């Protein structure tokens, strides 16, 4: 059977999900998507936050091209829609996900990273969307998620010219929120995930599910939904206890994650 395509482990309240095809630069096949889906479902059921990272020298070089070229058009549509469904369970699921990025974060690998809520890159990371040079188009939600992170204009540049962004450019263009030294991304990602895991679960759910939807609404609709979500979370039993602890000066001090390294 060989090694699992995706490895899963649990460290306290944080699930660790590792892409495990280092010999293929963690290329994403249909089987990898299904293994990832199973790990995401398990993490959502038993953890309070999760980290996705890659084995070997790269996070992920993207789509498994060998598998992709053998598909008929309708098989390609079904495959793309399956990627969408699995990545949706990350972006709009039950718990926060943090990506630890190094080496290649390319094509489908960048689409996967864009579905997480916080992205940490070490200085070996580089970002590209070579679909234009391959004669194809992004199919794993990149035209929605990646474009919203770095703007349509920058994504168009990457796809038309084959340009490669460095880790520093990735941070500058909003692909990542944290930039660390080589080899430090996983530890930083785990530290951030532990902070998120300590939040009230309902607050985390509201942040990862309500916030992106609010951004898609007209202003008046968005403000109305914000009021509903704010009132709903504030009246939960956990919020009542946490607010009481704050008033009574029993609450833990704010964790400082840092703006970069």
What class does CATH assign to 6-197? alpha beta
Which residue in 3, 75, 131, 169 is the catalytic one? 131
Query: Which own/partner pairs from 156-162 qualify as long-range (CB within 8 Å, at least 24 positions apart)?
Result: 158/127, 158/128, 158/129, 159/129, 159/131, 159/132, 160/132, 161/132, 162/128, 162/130, 162/132, 162/133
Q: pLDDT exceeding 90 applies to what percent of the chain?
A: 79
How confident is the model over 69-110, as pLDDT tens digits?
Answer: 778 889 989 999 999 999 999 999 999 999 999 999 999 999
Predicted model pTM: 0.90
How far is it, in rounded angstroms, from Cα 70 to Cα 23?
21
Contact call for residues 106 and 86 (beta carbons, < 8 A)? no
The per-residue pLDDT for 259 is: 47
Closest CA to 75 of 85, 67, 86, 87: 67
Which residue in 23, 34, 57, 111 is the catalytic one? 111
131 is a catalytic site residue = yes
Length of the chain: 261
**Range(s) within the chain of domains with CATH label 1.10.12.10:** 201-247
**Range(s) within the chain of domains with CATH label 3.90.226.10:** 6-197
The per-residue pLDDT for 255 is: 56
169 is a catalytic site residue = no
Report the CATH fold assignment for 201-247.
Lyase 2-enoyl-coa Hydratase; Chain  A, domain 2 (1.10.12)
């Amino acid at each position: 059977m060989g090694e699992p395509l995706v490895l899963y482990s649990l460290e306290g309240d944080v699930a660790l999900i590792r892409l495990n095809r280092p010999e293929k630069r963690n290329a994403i096949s249909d089987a990898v998507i299904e293994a990832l889906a199973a790990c995401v479902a398990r993490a959502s059921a038993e953890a309070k936050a999760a980290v996705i990272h890659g084995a070997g020298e790269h996070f992920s070089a993207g789509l498994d091209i060998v598998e992709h070229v053998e598909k008929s058009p309708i098989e390609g549509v079904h495959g793309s829609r399956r990627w969408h469904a699995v990545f949706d369970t990350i972006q709009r699921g039950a718990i926060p996900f943090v990506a630890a990025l190094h080496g290649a974060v390319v094509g489908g690998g960048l689409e996967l990273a864009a579905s997480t809520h916080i992205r940490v890159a070490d200085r070996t990371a580089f970002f590209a969307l070579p679909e234009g040079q391959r004669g194809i188009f992004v199919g794993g939600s990149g035209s929605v998620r990646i474009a919203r992170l770095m703007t349509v204009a920058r994504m168009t540049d990457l796809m038309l010219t084959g340009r490669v962004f460095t880790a520093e450019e990735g941070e500058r263009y909003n692909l990542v929120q944290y930039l660390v030294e080589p080899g430090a991304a996983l530890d930083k990602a785990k530290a951030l995930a532990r902070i998120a895991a300590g939040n009230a679960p309902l607050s985390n759910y509201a942040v990862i599910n309500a916030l992106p939807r609010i951004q898609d609404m007209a202003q008046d609709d968005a403000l109305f939904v914000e009021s509903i979500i704010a009132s709903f979370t504030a009246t939960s039993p956990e919020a009542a206890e946490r607010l009481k602890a704050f008033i009574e000066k029993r609450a833990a001090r704010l964790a400082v994650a840092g703006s970069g390294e």
